[in-house]
Amino acid sequence: MGEENQTYVNEFVFLGLSQDPETQVLLFFIFLIIYLLTVLGNLLIIVLIHIDSRLHTPMYFFLTNLSFAGLCFSTHRPSGANPATVPQVLIHLLVKRKTIPFAGCSTQIVVLLLVGGTECALLAVMSCEWYVAVCKPLHYSTIMTHWVCVQLAIGSWASGVFVSLVDTTFTLSLPYRGSNIINYFFCEPPALLKLASADTYSTEIAVFAMDVVILLAPGSPILVSYWNIISTVIQMQSREGRLKIFSTCASHVIVVVLFYGSAIFAYMRPNSKIMNERDKMISVFYSAVTPMLNPIIYSLRNKGVKGALKRITVK
């Protein structure tokens, strides 16, 4: 039958993370724990920073944005009654038919790209802020002014919006007819392009170009910032100070490597027509694990946040 006689897809069916019932039950509890930790951790950070005036500093301002991005990543609602990304995974682990309407899938892609792009930019901004705090402490207040911080935050969200619009426009402009089965567990361009009923070369080039902008461009200031931080710390005379900064720096680098490494693997490689189990596991890191780790590594290990939590619980 000719392609023109095939109907357009109005919903997608996920194969999910596993077809084994026992594995699905185990994955359900793992994702439930991840989801609860993500929501509670990020909400706690946002509330603490909002109500404690001592935390109204550039570092915590960026942490608020990062926590909000983490919440959006895990809890946005694609459309209507369709659940958010991680809750959607939880529900699909308990049902046989794992579906999402085309409109819900489209909105899911928009939000995930927007938040993911914003988080990439925010991680770069936070590394620069950390560099100024460690390497140029005497000039910190004049460099990291309130207006500069606001501009950097707006720029981060704007970059996410731009990348999301470009990637989504190119991805959703393709026709989707015939097969609607996605060997994945949520909607994103690499998974959706495999079902397109037309040549995807130009779309892949556009998506790749945007990925270079949002993944590799922020990587440069991150590398430069942490290199300078390490160089400065090595010259410090205080052993205790060196260990403290190295510990903080190492934990930050872990989050950056997990998020950037998994995202680069998913978006910056040839678009193979086969989505294997390794691809699914890699995507779990930037879609679920990193949003959970952010409040733990960036905030809950921080003395300022722990002090604010203690002051609130004592009252």
User: How confident is the model over 45-58, as pLDDT tens digits?
Assistant: 888 888 888 888 89
User: By percentage, how much of the chain surpasses pLDDT 90?
Assistant: 16
pLDDT of residue 125: 93
Q: Which CATH superfamily is domain 8-307 in?
A: Rhodopsin 7-helix transmembrane proteins (1.20.1070.10)
pLDDT at 183 over 80: yes
Say what angle helices 21-51 and 303-314 make with each other, to 10 degrees: 80
Computed over its alpha carbons, how large is the radius of gyration of the chain? 21
Domain locations along the chain: 8-307
Highest mean pLDDT among 6-20, 67-81, 195-209, 227-241: 195-209
pLDDT at 226 over 50: yes
Separation of alpha carbons 84 and 161, rounded Å? 19
Q: Which residues contact 207 (CB under 8 A, 6 or more apart)?
A: 167, 170, 171, 189, 193, 267
* pLDDT one-digit tens code per residue, 193-224: 888 888 888 888 888 888 788 877 888 888 88
Between the alpha carbon of residue 184 and those of residues 10, 31, 91, 194, 314, the distances in Å are 17, 15, 15, 11, 46
